[in-house]
Amino acid sequence: QTVVTQEPSFSVSPGGTVTLTCGLSSGSVSTSYYPSWYQQTPGQAPRTLIYSTNTRSSGVPDRFSGSILGNKAALTITGAQADDESDYYCVLYMGSGSWVFGGGTKLTVL
Amino acid sequence: QVQLQESGPGLVKPSQTLSLTCTVSGGSISSGSYYWSWIRQPAGKGLEWIGRIYTSGSTNYNPSLKSRVTISVDTSKNQFSLKLSSVTAADTAVYYCARVGRLTTGYYFDYWGQGTLVTVSS
């Protein structure tokens, strides 16, 4: 079965820039996988940040951006703020109306 | 504004069937532009896609759960439902329902329910 890989944890300083990645256990991530990114804080439902690789969801600050970097999808946070400390999940569309979630990245801002 | 709300028992006994319903408001579940999906999250762990249904009734499931999962839709009530059979403690999780886009709407989860905790225990 396909495994979507994410860094388990990452740390960034306030005001800094961090790039989280989303890869495949076998193969490369391309725009054809329609990568999307979600932010989740404890006890809350996920919030959509980015879809179709690089489109920001309504109301999402422009310090969040999505891209393909090499063979992975990437979420970049520029000018990190304290309330960006969350879990971040990527999701890849596998075709035929099926999806696979990555394991998530716990981002610490300190 | 589309809203989704999960409902169902919060406690299920081992080997029994977990049943949840998601009620959609602010939009029609019969919209051809979207799938309707279930996702779950065990405590302290990541999100897992369970499956999806289209308004026509066509479904697709996570291969790891396929033998135990049934998702159905009731367009007259603007609801869709999840049944997971032969549950064990490993099925204890927060279960979310969500709307997910198709080709023209980006293949992403845009609206989520608040989630409901289901505990499997005797």
Q: What is the pLDDT of residues B67-98, one digit of tens each?
A: 999 999 999 999 999 999 999 999 999 999 99
For chain A, what's the residue count?
110
pLDDT at residue A28 is higher than 90: yes
Instruction: Give the CA angle between residues B110, B113, B114 to the nearest 5°.
Output: 125
* Mean pLDDT value across residues A48-67: 96
CA dist., res. A51 & res. B15, Å (int): 38
Look up tokens 């989630």; give the residue: B115
Q: Are B65 and B50 in contact (CB under 8 A)?
A: yes
Q: How far is B105 from chain A (nearest CA, A)?
A: 9
Q: Are B39 and B20 in contact (CB under 8 A)?
A: no
Nearest to A102 by CA among B69, B39, B6: B39
CA dist., res. A22 & res. A68, Å (int): 9
| Residues of chain B found within 8 Å of residue A34, distances taken between Cβ atoms | 106-108
Phi, psi of B104 (to 5 degrees): -80, -5
What was the pLDDT predicted at A1?
79
Q: Are A38 and A49 in contact (CB under 8 A)?
A: yes
As a whole number, the mean pLDDT across chain B is 96
Among the partner residues B35, B49, B102, nearest to A101 by beta-carbon distance:
B49
Residues A34-53 have pLDDT tens digits of 999 999 999 999 999 999 99
Residues B12-55 have pLDDT tens digits of 999 999 999 999 999 999 988 899 999 999 999 999 999 999 99
What was the pLDDT predicted at B5?
98
Nearest to B99 by CA among A45, A82, A75: A45
pLDDT at residue B104 is higher than 80: no
What was the pLDDT predicted at B100?
94
Q: How far is B41 from chain A (nearest CA, A)?
A: 10
What was the pLDDT predicted at B103?
77
What was the pLDDT predicted at B33?
87
As a whole number, the mean pLDDT across chain A is 96
DSSP 8-state symbol, B2: -
Query: What sign has the CA pseudo-torsion B117, B38, B18, B28?
Result: positive
Q: Which residue of A has its CA nearest to B102?
A: A97
Q: Which residue of A has its CA nearest to B39?
A: A101
CA dist., res. B39 & res. B114, Å (int): 12
* Mean pLDDT value across residues B93-116: 92
Residues A73-102 have pLDDT tens digits of 999 999 999 999 999 999 999 998 899 999
CA dist., res. B3 & res. B61, Å (int): 23
| Residues of chain A found within 8 Å of residue B34, distances taken between Cβ atoms | none
CA dist., res. A95 & res. B50, Å (int): 15
Q: Is A46 on the interface with B (CB under 8 A)?
A: yes
